[in-house]
Amino acid sequence: MDALKLIEQASMKENAPEVNVGDTVKVHVRIAEGDKSRIQIFEGTVIAKKHGGINETFTVRRVAHGCGIERVFPVHSPVVEKVELVRSGKVRRAKLYYLRKRVGKAAKVKELVK
């Protein structure tokens, strides 16, 4: 079991993004199209964080053209170039799945004032 933990720690990113539930983030994702690759930005609200260690993921939700889109990103994936924090959110839940039912301004998360 210790050998698995050593392998897990070796393959983790050193500068893993520090995201919290409720934050609005810009995720820079590397997309391969044929032999070329480009970076696409996915901006939205973090509605969930799951697992831990090497398997840690976070779910980002945005509304585009009236349709809700959710993407799950592994924290330690080489596909995720960087994660920019746009604003911090003030929430009292670990999972914000209730935002799926809300539309417009009701789906906003209050900003955390530090």
**Segments making up each domain of the chain, as ranges:** 2-107
Query: pLDDT confidence of 93, banded at 50, 70, 90?
Result: very high
Whether CATH 3.50.50.60 fits 2-107: no
pLDDT higher than 90, residue 114: no
Three-state SS across 7-51? HHHHHCCCCCCCCCCCCEEEEEEEEEECCEEEEEEEEEEEEEEEC
The whole model's pTM is what? 0.89
pLDDT higher than 90, residue 7: no
pLDDT higher than 90, residue 43: yes
Say what the pLDDT of residue 70 is: 97
Say what the pLDDT of residue 16 is: 80
